[in-house]
Amino acid sequence: MPYEMRLFEDVLFGGEEIRLDEPAPRALYVAAGSVSVDGDDVPLDEGIVLTGAATVGAGGDGATVWRWEVGPPAVEAGAGSQRTILRLAGPIDPAAIADELLIRLDSVAFPPGGEALLHTHQGPGIRCLREGEIRIDTEGRSSSYGPGGAWFESGPEPVFAQASATVPSRFIRTMVLPRSLLGASSIRYVRDEDRDRPKSQTYRVYGEMPVRLDQG
Protein backbone atom coordinates (compact mmCIF):
# COMPACT_ATOMS: atom_id res chain seq x y z
CA MET A 1 0.00 0.00 0.00
CA PRO A 2 1.37 3.47 -0.83
CA TYR A 3 1.81 5.98 1.98
CA GLU A 4 2.79 9.60 2.21
CA MET A 5 3.92 12.04 4.85
CA ARG A 6 1.96 15.30 4.99
CA LEU A 7 2.91 18.51 6.76
CA PHE A 8 -0.01 20.70 7.86
CA GLU A 9 0.00 24.10 9.51
CA ASP A 10 -2.85 24.59 12.01
CA VAL A 11 -3.53 28.17 13.10
CA LEU A 12 -5.77 28.26 16.18
CA PHE A 13 -7.49 31.11 18.01
CA GLY A 14 -7.20 31.26 21.80
CA GLY A 15 -9.13 28.36 23.35
CA GLU A 16 -9.89 26.76 19.98
CA GLU A 17 -9.65 22.96 19.67
CA ILE A 18 -9.08 20.53 16.83
CA ARG A 19 -9.86 16.83 17.03
CA LEU A 20 -7.56 14.36 15.33
CA ASP A 21 -10.00 11.47 15.29
CA GLU A 22 -8.15 9.03 13.04
CA PRO A 23 -5.25 7.16 14.64
CA ALA A 24 -2.03 7.74 12.64
CA PRO A 25 1.68 8.26 13.19
CA ARG A 26 1.90 12.00 13.97
CA ALA A 27 4.32 14.64 15.14
CA LEU A 28 3.24 18.03 16.50
CA TYR A 29 5.54 21.03 16.91
CA VAL A 30 4.39 24.31 18.49
CA ALA A 31 5.67 27.10 16.23
CA ALA A 32 3.79 29.90 18.05
CA GLY A 33 1.80 30.17 21.29
CA SER A 34 1.10 27.03 23.27
CA VAL A 35 -1.26 24.05 23.17
CA SER A 36 -2.51 21.16 25.24
CA VAL A 37 -2.71 17.67 23.77
CA ASP A 38 -5.28 15.53 25.58
CA GLY A 39 -4.78 17.81 28.59
CA ASP A 40 -0.97 17.78 28.60
CA ASP A 41 0.67 21.18 28.05
CA VAL A 42 3.03 21.60 25.08
CA PRO A 43 4.68 25.05 25.17
CA LEU A 44 6.33 27.09 22.45
CA ASP A 45 9.22 25.37 20.65
CA GLU A 46 8.31 21.95 22.01
CA GLY A 47 6.90 18.93 20.23
CA ILE A 48 5.55 15.42 20.68
CA VAL A 49 4.92 12.28 18.67
CA LEU A 50 1.83 10.11 18.98
CA THR A 51 -0.05 7.39 17.14
CA GLY A 52 -3.59 7.56 18.51
CA ALA A 53 -6.46 10.01 18.20
CA ALA A 54 -5.96 13.28 20.06
CA THR A 55 -7.54 16.62 20.92
CA VAL A 56 -5.33 19.69 20.51
CA GLY A 57 -6.38 22.88 22.29
CA ALA A 58 -4.76 26.29 21.90
CA GLY A 59 -3.72 28.40 24.88
CA GLY A 60 -5.27 31.78 25.58
CA ASP A 61 -3.09 33.59 23.03
CA GLY A 62 -3.74 31.09 20.25
CA ALA A 63 -1.20 28.84 18.57
CA THR A 64 0.41 27.78 15.34
CA VAL A 65 1.15 24.06 15.11
CA TRP A 66 3.19 22.24 12.49
CA ARG A 67 1.63 18.78 12.19
CA TRP A 68 3.16 15.86 10.33
CA GLU A 69 1.02 12.79 9.58
CA VAL A 70 1.77 9.50 7.82
CA GLY A 71 -1.02 7.66 6.05
CA PRO A 72 -2.48 6.65 2.69
CA PRO A 73 -2.45 9.41 0.08
CA ALA A 74 -5.40 11.74 0.63
CA VAL A 75 -6.88 14.69 -1.20
CA GLU A 76 -8.49 16.23 1.87
CA ALA A 77 -6.42 18.33 4.27
CA GLY A 78 -7.43 16.18 7.24
CA ALA A 79 -8.82 17.29 10.58
CA GLY A 80 -7.94 20.81 11.61
CA SER A 81 -9.22 24.32 12.02
CA GLN A 82 -10.67 26.50 9.29
CA ARG A 83 -7.16 27.89 9.01
CA THR A 84 -5.42 24.55 8.37
CA ILE A 85 -3.30 24.34 5.25
CA LEU A 86 -1.39 21.47 3.70
CA ARG A 87 2.19 22.69 3.40
CA LEU A 88 3.85 19.69 1.72
CA ALA A 89 3.50 15.96 1.06
CA GLY A 90 6.06 13.31 0.12
CA PRO A 91 5.99 9.56 -0.58
CA ILE A 92 6.74 6.94 2.07
CA ASP A 93 7.56 3.35 1.05
CA PRO A 94 7.70 1.34 4.30
CA ALA A 95 9.20 -1.74 2.64
CA ALA A 96 12.15 0.32 1.38
CA ILE A 97 12.98 1.54 4.91
CA ALA A 98 12.89 -1.51 7.21
CA ASP A 99 10.64 -4.28 8.50
CA GLU A 100 10.14 -2.36 11.77
CA LEU A 101 9.76 1.43 11.84
CA LEU A 102 9.77 4.48 14.06
CA ILE A 103 8.70 8.10 13.69
CA ARG A 104 11.02 10.83 14.99
CA LEU A 105 10.54 14.57 15.53
CA ASP A 106 13.72 16.57 16.04
CA SER A 107 15.50 19.81 15.18
CA VAL A 108 18.81 20.51 13.48
CA ALA A 109 20.58 23.78 14.32
CA PHE A 110 23.53 25.48 12.62
CA PRO A 111 25.72 28.40 13.70
CA PRO A 112 26.34 31.14 11.12
CA GLY A 113 28.21 29.57 8.23
CA GLY A 114 27.38 26.02 9.34
CA GLU A 115 26.99 23.18 6.89
CA ALA A 116 25.94 19.55 6.77
CA LEU A 117 28.55 17.65 4.76
CA LEU A 118 27.36 15.42 1.92
CA HIS A 119 25.21 12.75 3.55
CA THR A 120 22.21 10.45 3.32
CA HIS A 121 19.59 9.31 5.85
CA GLN A 122 18.08 5.90 6.53
CA GLY A 123 14.54 7.07 5.88
CA PRO A 124 12.46 9.86 4.31
CA GLY A 125 10.99 12.94 5.92
CA ILE A 126 9.85 16.55 5.68
CA ARG A 127 11.81 19.49 7.08
CA CYS A 128 10.53 23.01 7.85
CA LEU A 129 12.86 25.93 8.54
CA ARG A 130 12.26 27.55 11.93
CA GLU A 131 14.77 30.39 11.68
CA GLY A 132 17.60 31.67 9.53
CA GLU A 133 18.25 30.60 5.95
CA ILE A 134 19.46 27.38 4.35
CA ARG A 135 20.42 26.05 0.94
CA ILE A 136 19.77 22.38 0.14
CA ASP A 137 21.65 20.70 -2.71
CA THR A 138 20.24 17.31 -3.78
CA GLU A 139 19.15 15.40 -6.88
CA GLY A 140 20.98 17.88 -9.11
CA ARG A 141 19.09 20.88 -7.75
CA SER A 142 19.92 23.70 -5.36
CA SER A 143 17.02 25.24 -3.39
CA SER A 144 17.06 27.99 -0.76
CA TYR A 145 14.57 28.34 2.09
CA GLY A 146 13.64 31.03 4.61
CA PRO A 147 11.56 30.70 7.80
CA GLY A 148 8.52 28.50 7.16
CA GLY A 149 9.99 26.98 4.01
CA ALA A 150 9.46 23.21 3.80
CA TRP A 151 11.15 20.48 1.77
CA PHE A 152 11.11 16.69 1.46
CA GLU A 153 14.17 14.46 1.54
CA SER A 154 13.87 10.88 0.32
CA GLY A 155 16.66 9.51 2.53
CA PRO A 156 18.99 7.65 0.14
CA GLU A 157 19.61 10.67 -2.13
CA PRO A 158 22.81 12.50 -1.07
CA VAL A 159 22.25 15.97 0.42
CA PHE A 160 24.53 18.92 1.16
CA ALA A 161 23.17 21.74 3.36
CA GLN A 162 24.65 25.23 3.66
CA ALA A 163 23.22 27.50 6.36
CA SER A 164 23.23 31.30 6.42
CA ALA A 165 26.64 32.91 6.74
CA THR A 166 25.35 35.66 9.03
CA VAL A 167 22.67 34.29 11.40
CA PRO A 168 21.95 30.99 13.19
CA SER A 169 19.62 28.64 11.32
CA ARG A 170 17.44 25.76 12.49
CA PHE A 171 14.91 23.43 10.96
CA ILE A 172 12.34 21.05 12.43
CA ARG A 173 11.91 17.66 10.81
CA THR A 174 9.94 14.45 11.03
CA MET A 175 11.31 11.22 9.58
CA VAL A 176 10.23 7.60 9.28
CA LEU A 177 13.25 5.43 10.11
CA PRO A 178 14.25 1.86 10.92
CA ARG A 179 13.23 1.00 14.46
CA SER A 180 16.78 -0.14 15.13
CA LEU A 181 17.70 3.57 15.22
CA LEU A 182 15.76 4.31 18.42
CA GLY A 183 18.05 6.72 20.26
CA ALA A 184 20.62 6.78 17.43
CA SER A 185 21.45 9.11 14.55
CA SER A 186 20.17 8.33 11.07
CA ILE A 187 22.89 10.19 9.15
CA ARG A 188 25.49 8.53 6.93
CA TYR A 189 28.31 10.52 5.33
CA VAL A 190 28.96 9.83 1.67
CA ARG A 191 32.71 10.49 1.72
CA ASP A 192 34.86 8.46 4.11
CA GLU A 193 37.00 11.49 4.92
CA ASP A 194 33.96 13.40 6.23
CA ARG A 195 33.00 10.88 8.91
CA ASP A 196 35.55 12.09 11.45
CA ARG A 197 35.60 15.76 10.49
CA PRO A 198 34.15 18.22 13.06
CA LYS A 199 30.44 18.81 12.44
CA SER A 200 28.76 22.19 12.85
CA GLN A 201 25.15 20.99 13.24
CA THR A 202 23.58 20.11 16.59
CA TYR A 203 20.45 18.05 17.25
CA ARG A 204 17.53 18.03 19.65
CA VAL A 205 15.06 15.13 19.69
CA TYR A 206 11.53 16.10 20.77
CA GLY A 207 10.24 12.56 20.60
CA GLU A 208 10.30 9.25 18.78
CA MET A 209 8.03 6.23 18.85
CA PRO A 210 7.76 2.80 17.19
CA VAL A 211 5.05 2.69 14.51
CA ARG A 212 3.48 0.10 12.24
CA LEU A 213 2.60 0.63 8.60
CA ASP A 214 1.09 -2.01 6.32
CA GLN A 215 3.92 -3.25 4.14
CA GLY A 216 1.85 -5.68 2.15
What DSSP assignment string belongs to 62-79? EEEEEEEEEES--SS--S
pLDDT for 73: 86
Domain positions in the chain are 3-94, 96-211
Radius of gyration of the chain (CA): 17
Q: What is the CATH number of domain 3-94?
A: 2.60.120.10
Q: What is the mean pLDDT of residues 147-172?
A: 97
According to DSSP, residue 95 is labeled H
Give the pTM.
0.94
Report whether pLDDT(20) > 60: yes
Q: Output the pLDDT for position 76.
A: 57
- CA 119 to each of CA 8, 124, 158, 212: distance values in angstroms, whole numbers, following the listed order: 27, 13, 5, 27
Amino acid 179: pLDDT: 97
Q: Using CA atoms, how far apart are residues 158 and 67, in angstroms rounded to an integer?
A: 26
Q: How many CA atoms lie within 13 A of 63 on its CB side?
A: 30
- Under CATH, to which class is 96-211 assigned? mainly beta
Same fold, 3-94 and 96-211: yes
Q: How far apart are CA 57 and CA 111, in angstroms?
A: 34
Q: How far is CA 165 from CA 12, 92, 110, 113, 115, in A?
A: 34, 33, 10, 4, 10
